[in-house]
């Protein structure tokens, strides 16, 4: 049974890139007699807003997409993420980290891309967070140690084929933020497995994040979905769409009289070209 999901964070209005992810996942499920889920990724409660969540459902329905209910919200899944973090701690593959963004930027001399600098491992071996005093600390995975435990890993992408997992490229990434007790990478693998997701459809901007997610799946003995990373949808200026580009949201297109059929036809034409 094919199970796909669309997993937006309600931090803004959806744009055509989200529409492509949702539509591709929904079509994949429908074509295979499978199930399509929507999961609200709202762990970052300070940035998420209920009106954006309502707008997500409204925009998806406008596109003609239907999904199963009840919808899972990551804000309600803290216990599952805490249990996963405990397992990683028991394996000895995570360490507490007190570095701020400024500390990391100062420690990393090389210029860095949009994803931020690769963590230089400052707190690895410091032994912070022992004795229960981990309050206010983030938790990072010791990628080298974790990989030594799992051995070589790979995953499958519909466009790229077999991909050898190289989580070290991202450095020791955060599995639990100091303010949230979890982080995107951990929450997403726990939920994809718990919901029986077989196929993850999302933008290619998350391709590199998959390496780390594959590592977490192996450590936690969670299933690994097939991945379908699609090209990013570009705006009229040739730049990638972002939630902050108000003029490019589905909501604003709809407001100017653009139909859902036209949006979908435009995405299909771009994919075919």
- The least CB distance from residue 210 to ligand GLU, in Å, is 9
| Of the residues 140, 202, 214, 228, which one makes contact with ligand GLU according to CB under 6 A | 202
Q: Which residue's CB is nearer to ligand GLU, number 140 or number 202?
A: 202
- Should residue 194 be labelled a site residue for ligand GLU when binding is judged by CB under 6 A? no
Of the residues 168, 194, 206, 220, which one makes contact with ligand GLU according to CB under 6 A: 206
Nearest distance from residue 7's CB to ligand GLU, in Å?
4
The answer to whether residues 59 and 13 touch, using CB atoms and an 8 Å cutoff, is: yes
CB of 200 to ligand GLU, least distance (A): 6
Helix 209-220 to helix 143-150 angle, to the nearest 10 degrees? 50
Choice between 127 and 239, CB closer to ligand GLU: 239
Shortest Å distance, C-beta 202 to ligand GLU: 4
Min separation Cβ 6 and ligand GLU, Å: 7
φ/ψ of 162, rounded to 5, equals -70, 130
| C-alpha distance from residue 46 to each of 11, 39, 43, 187, 243 (Å) | 9, 18, 9, 17, 16
Cβ proximity to ligand GLU, 8 vs 171, nearer residue: 8
Which of 77/99 has CB closer to ligand GLU?
A: 77
Task: Please give the full DSSP string across 145-158, using - where no structure is assigned.
Answer: HHHHHH-S-EEEET
Residue count at the site for ligand GLU (CB under 6 A)?
7
Q: What is the DSSP letter of 163?
A: E
x/- string (CB under 6 A) for ligand GLU, residues 27-66? --------------x-------------------------
DSSP single-letter state for residue 241 = P
Cβ proximity to ligand GLU: between 27 and 89 the closer is 27
Instruction: Confirm or reject binding of residue 7 to ligand GLU (CB under 6 A).
Output: yes
84: exposed, middle or buried (Cβ count in 10 Å: 0-12, 13-18, 19+): buried
d(CA 76, CA 7): 15
Distance CA 171, CA 99 (A): 14
In the range 162-191, which residues lie near ligand GLU by CB under 6 A? 188
For 250, the 3-state DSSP assignment is helix
Q: Is 158 near ligand GLU (CB under 6 A)?
A: no
140 DSSP β-pair partners: 95, 174
Q: Contact residues for ligand GLU (CB under 6 A)?
A: 7-9, 41, 188, 202, 206
């Amino acid at each position: 049974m094919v199970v796909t999901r669309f997993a937006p964070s309600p931090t803004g209005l959806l744009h055509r890139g989200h529409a492509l992810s949702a539509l591709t996942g929904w079509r994949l499920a429908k074509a295979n007699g499978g199930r399509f889920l929507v999961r609200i990724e709202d762990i970052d409660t300070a940035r998420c807003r209920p009106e954006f969540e309502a707008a997500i459902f409204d925009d998806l329905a406008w596109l003609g997409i239907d999904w199963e209910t009840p919808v899972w919200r990551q804000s309600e899944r803290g216990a599952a993420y805490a249990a996963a973090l405990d397992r990683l701690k028991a394996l000895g593959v995570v360490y507490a980290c007190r570095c701020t963004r400024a500390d990391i930027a100062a420690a990393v001399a090389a210029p860095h891309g949009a994803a931020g600098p690769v963590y230089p491992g400052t707190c690895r071996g410091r032994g912070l967070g022992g004795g229960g005093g981990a309050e206010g600390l983030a938790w990072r995975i010791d990628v080298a140690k974790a990989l030594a435990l799992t051995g070589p890993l790979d995953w499958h992408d519909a466009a790229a084929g077999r991909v050898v997992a190289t989580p070290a490229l991202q450095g020791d990434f955060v599995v639990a933020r100091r303010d949230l007790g979890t982080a995107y990478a951990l929450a997403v693998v726990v939920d994809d497995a718990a919901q029986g997701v077989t196929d993850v459809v999302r933008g290619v901007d998350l391709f590199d994040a998959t390496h780390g997610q594959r590592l977490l799946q192996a450590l936690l003995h969670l299933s690994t979905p097939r991945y379908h990373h699609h090209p990013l949808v570009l705006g009229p200026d040739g730049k990638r769409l972002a939630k902050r580009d108000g003029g490019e949201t589905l909501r604003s297109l709809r407001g100017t009289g653009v139909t859902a059929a036209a949006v979908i036809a435009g995405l299909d034409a771009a994919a075919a070209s």
